[in-house]
């Protein structure tokens, strides 16, 4: 990876919540910018709008990577695909989509010419004279193409590699066998980042994160509540994330996918105590629209 530009990843938390909508957080999404190339990891509810709130147009993103296909990680993808395509001028650019099993089926199910649930939308915008004029007035060139989206189901191993970065996937233990899940590591010449998606603590995620600069890990509940129920077979507690960070030897732990109860101000002190019981390094409690500080 012979980078010609600074390649320290800039990470923005777009969605830091769970399936339960709260006034200040809902669903999961992270935006990673490497030397100007923007990669979207997951596309939970309202991601498209949240990106624009953060000054990022969907047209700036050419790569989307899914950790898994629960709705709080992919529900806004139809809006993202169609908004990106609709606003792209003078012509559409390819959107590359990677993720575990169902990624191809899910994506094609949105825009396929014969069976996609939103085919009526893009066909009307391509074919109707009024839509053609609107597109041309924005700087678009006719004739207009259908959305150029290329999905690929992927598994563990190297997913994408360019001059500036490498993305590697590893299994994340969540709700198998119903859904496959992957955690991802992004390596550049100037930094490394791991995005776990939804997972319980497991060796595959710990191994993926070894020596990384930043680990972004789900944090669903306190350890006492998770360990006292079957939640521990699918999700991660504060202490579980902290123990993973410590064992992997990362520089900074960023808590994301934070459960609603933990977001209440009265629980902040207890949350911090639990994390610090296993983790002595840099600690960030994520929130939406936050640019993650890069560890020194």
- Predicted confidence (pLDDT) per residue in 184-221, tens digit: 999 999 999 999 999 999 999 999 999 999 999 999 99
Strand partners, 99: 153
pLDDT for 228: 77
Q: pTM value?
A: 0.96
The first and second tokens of residue 23, run together, are 């006034």
DSSP state of 212: -
DSSP state letter for 23: T
Give percent above pLDDT 70 in the chain. Answer: 98
pLDDT at position 5 is 64
pLDDT at 285: 98
Report the b/e string of 81-91 with b at 16+ CB within 10 A: bbbbbbebeee
CATH number of 10-291: 3.60.15.10
Burial class (CB in 10 A: 0-12, 13-18, 19+), 251: middle
Contact 285, 267 (CB under 8 A): no
Tens digits of per-residue pLDDT, 160-184? 999 999 999 999 999 999 999 999 9
């Amino acid at each position: 990876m012979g980078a010609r530009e600074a390649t320290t990843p800039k990470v923005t938390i777009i969605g830091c919540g769970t399936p339960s909508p709260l006034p200040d957080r809902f669903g999961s999404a992270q935006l990673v910018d490497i030397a100007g190339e923007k990669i979207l990891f997951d596309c939970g509810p309202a991601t498209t709008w949240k990106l624009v709130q953060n000054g990022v147009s969907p047209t700036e993103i050419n790569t989307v990577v899914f950790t898994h296909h629960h709705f709080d990680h992919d529900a806004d993808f139809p809006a993202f695909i169609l908004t990106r395509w609709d606003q792209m001028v003078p012509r559409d650019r390819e959107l590359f989509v990677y993720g575990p099993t169902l990624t191809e089926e899910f994506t094609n199910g949105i825009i396929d010419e014969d069976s996609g649930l939103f085919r009526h939308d893009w066909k009307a915008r391509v074919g109707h004279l009024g839509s053609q004029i609107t597109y041309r007035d924005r700087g678009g060139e006719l004739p207009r193409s259908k959305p150029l989206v290329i999905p690929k189901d992927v598994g563990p191993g190297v997913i994408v590699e360019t001059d500036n970065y490498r993305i590697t996937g590893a299994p994340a233990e969540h709700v198998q066998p119903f859904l496959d899940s992957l955690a991802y590591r992004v390596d550049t010449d100037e930094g490394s980042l791991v995005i776990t998606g939804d997972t319980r603590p497991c060796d595959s995620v710990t191994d993926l994160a070894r020596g990384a600069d930043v680990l972004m890990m789900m944090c669903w509940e306190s350890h006492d509540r998770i360990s006292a129920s079957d939640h521990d077979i699918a999700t991660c507690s504060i202490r579980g994330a902290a123990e993973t960070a410590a064992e992997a030897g990362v520089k900074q732990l960023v808590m994301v996918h934070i459960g609603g109860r933990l977001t209440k101000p009265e629980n902040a002190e207890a949350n911090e105590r639990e994390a610090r019981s296993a983790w002595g390094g840099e600690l960030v409690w994520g929130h939406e629209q936050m640019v993650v500080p890069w560890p020194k």
